[in-house]
A and B are shown apart, each in its own frame.
Chain A
């Protein structure tokens, strides 16, 4: 079970530059943020213990603030602080914050640490991916930016240079006519191990038809993944069905002590469907039929037709795949292999 930690060197830099320098000069270093995952993993022996621990306690910004661009988060912001200031959001991030962990863990866990840990079951990554969030990180060459959707290697781990330090993030302000939701399935209670999770963001054009979806998945592969779907066919029901099938096609499910791959596949279908329904419910409000997947659905959206491209352009919607809310940059990122469009129900 738990084992004692081996002796290690402990460094406490006082600035980001100092932290970067310490990392370069140390033998077998690792950054320490909230440590809510790192220390238990070392004690359980599920990750190899490093020889030098570089504490970021006095280095990373704990800022949480909002302006017209969106929600700005310092990488050192505890999840509890973000929850207190942004937990009432009715979107995928608000959902994820409310489900993140127990209050004591939320007080210690940091936004940057959660992403840098690069766990496939990250409680925040799917929501941040679906919402088009962008991180900033520092390396010897200066400050860089990267969409969260491009932050993870498809085989697991971070797609950042060794020693780079994640310093902050911006969650874009919600685009007009958009909605999102996050759904997570755990075993053994609310705070139990995650089976699968899904965050969905939907964008609608001026005529009220959906034109884009981003579905981001947790525990559906070695790293969180995001998949973009653009509407080309008619109808909300077909669009949602294609989003669901694209998500299933993009997943790379495995078995572990929490769930078998077969069970995960079944549950992935459920959580993506629920996330789609929750996002639709937020967009449409109460009293509408959001159960698009039910054959007997009779809601006004069930048979609605999405406009073609020219209609979308005339209505003020996007042209082609150049999504105004950052979708284009997502497609250019390093996760392009897993971010793909679903066309006519056949993900390519």
Chain B
């Protein structure tokens, strides 16, 4: 999830400690029936299989791409802590690259 726009592990936060904070979960990304750019990129790049890790991956990926131009090394470091046992991470990185290209071209909704 995001707390004030920053990715945070929900499992180590007490809900009571977030009173008044701006919290966004994966359920809050889509708007008006349209998926968020990063959600769409994960679909288009086949960046998921079983889907168990996907909410965490997407929530971690959004600020990585939104924070500006980056590279694969920085993306991999930024995603660390999110474990995927299906994809081997290659397609996930492809999804970030796809989202970054889309955002840069203005063709998809920004984070």
A contact set with B: CB distance below 8 Å? 10, 12, 32, 35-36, 39-40, 53, 55, 57, 80, 101-105, 107-108, 190-191
Residue of B with least CB distance to A98: B77
17 A-B pairs with CB atoms under 8 Å apart are A10-B16, A12-B17, A36-B9, A36-B12, A39-B11, A80-B6, A102-B80, A103-B7, A103-B77, A103-B80, A104-B9, A105-B9, A105-B12, A107-B7, A108-B9, A108-B12, A191-B80
Instruction: Name B's interface SS.
Output: mixed
On whether A108 and B8 interact (CB within 8 A), knowing A32-B17, A53-B14, the answer reads: yes
Give chain B nearest CB distance to A147 CB in angstroms: 30
Q: A32 to chain B: which residues have CB within 8 Å? A: 14, 17
Q: A39 to chain B: which residues have CB within 8 Å? A: 11-14
Residue of A with least CB distance to B19: A12
B contact set with A: CB distance below 8 Å? 3, 6-9, 11-14, 16-17, 19, 60, 77-78, 80-81
Tell me if B81 and A104 are in contact (CB < 8 A): yes
Instruction: Name A's interface SS.
Output: mixed
Tell me if A35 and B12 are in contact (CB < 8 A): yes
How far apart are the CA atoms of A61 and B19 in the complex, in Å?
18
How far apart are the CA atoms of A10 and B60 in the complex, in Å?
29
Q: B14 to chain A: which residues have CB within 8 Å? A: 10, 32, 35, 39, 53, 55
Tell me if A104 and B8 are in contact (CB < 8 A): yes
How far apart are the CA atoms of A104 and B9 in the complex, in Å?
6
Residue of B with least CB distance to A43: B11
Q: B12 to chain A: which residues have CB within 8 Å? A: 35-36, 39-40, 105, 108
Residue of A with least CB distance to B64: A103
How far apart are the CA atoms of A191 and B12 in the complex, in Å?
16
Tell me if B60 and A103 are in contact (CB < 8 A): yes
Give chain B nearest CB distance to A39 CB in angstroms: 5
Q: Which of A10, A12, A107 contacts B3 (CB 8 A)?
A: A107
What are the 7 closest A-B residue pairs judged by CB atoms, nearest first? A102-B81, A107-B6, A104-B9, A10-B16, A104-B7, A102-B80, A39-B12
How far apart are the CA atoms of A55 and B77 in the complex, in Å?
30
Q: B8 to chain A: which residues have CB within 8 Å? A: 104, 107-108
Central interface residue in A35, A57, A191, by most chain B CB within 10 Å: A57
Residue of A with least CB distance to B9: A104
How far apart are the CA atoms of A108 and B16 in the complex, in Å?
15
Q: A80 to chain B: which residues have CB within 8 Å? A: 6
Give 9 new A-B contacts, CB below 8 A, not counting A102-B80, A104-B8, A108-B3: A35-B12, A55-B17, A103-B77, A103-B78, A104-B9, A107-B7, A108-B8, A108-B9, A191-B80
Q: Which of B17, B78, B81 contacts A57 (CB 8 A)?
A: B17
Residue of A with least CB distance to B15: A10
How far apart are the CA atoms of A55 and B80 in the complex, in Å?
28
How far apart are the CA atoms of A40 and B7 in the complex, in Å?
18
How far apart are the CA atoms of A36 and B6 in the complex, in Å?
15
Tell me if B13 and A103 are in contact (CB < 8 A): no
Give chain A nearest CB distance to B28 CB in angstroms: 17
Central interface residue in B8, B13, B60, B81, by most chain A CB within 10 Å: B8
Give chain B nearest CB distance to A171 CB in angstroms: 23
Residue of B with least CB distance to A40: B12
Give chain B nearest CB distance to A342 CB in angstroms: 38
Give chain B nearest CB distance to A58 CB in angstroms: 9
Central interface residue in A36, A102, A190, by most chain B CB within 10 Å: A102
Residue of A with least CB distance to B21: A57
Q: B17 to chain A: which residues have CB within 8 Å? A: 12, 32, 35, 55, 57
How far apart are the CA atoms of A102 and B64 in the complex, in Å?
13
How far apart are the CA atoms of A295 and B13 in the complex, in Å?
52
Q: A36 to chain B: which residues have CB within 8 Å? A: 9, 12
Residue of B with least CB distance to A190: B80
Residue of B with least CB distance to A108: B8
